[in-house]
Amino acid sequence: MPRRSREGVLGVEGLLDMSESQKTCGTCKHISDPSEPGTCEVLKIGSDIAVDPPLFVLQGAMNFQTDARVDASKCKYYEGSTGICLSC
């Protein structure tokens, strides 16, 4: 069952104590499993979204392994999801 706060049901952002302005891989619709370490369905092995400038590898056999808490603010392929529930 989702956790509730005074404002309503908490999604991934609330559970990870993140504000709406912060982007994490766990709030992106391209991550395979936002509740645990998963993979990005867009980026491939060799990508690095933490460096400046970020390195995006889009071709290859294996997906980029990530974690829900990874900062995705530099990732140009980030697409936020709405209504995510970790208990679903």
Inside any domain, residue 8? yes
Tell me what pLDDT residue 11 has.
Answer: 53
Expressed as residue numbers, the domain containing 36 is: 1-73
Inside any domain, residue 61? yes
SS3 readout for 5-56: ECCEECCHHHHCCCCCCCCEHHHECCECCCCCCEEEEEEECCCECCCCCCEC
Note the Cα 36 to chain centre separation in Å. Answer: 10
Tell me what pLDDT residue 21 has.
Answer: 59
Tell me what pLDDT residue 83 has.
Answer: 60
What are 21-32's pLDDT values in tens digits?
A: 589 998 999 998
Number of folded domains that form the chain: 1
Q: pTM of this prediction?
A: 0.67
Residue ranges, the chain, pLDDT below 70:
1-21, 83-88
Tell me what pLDDT residue 74 has.
Answer: 94
Inside any domain, residue 84? no
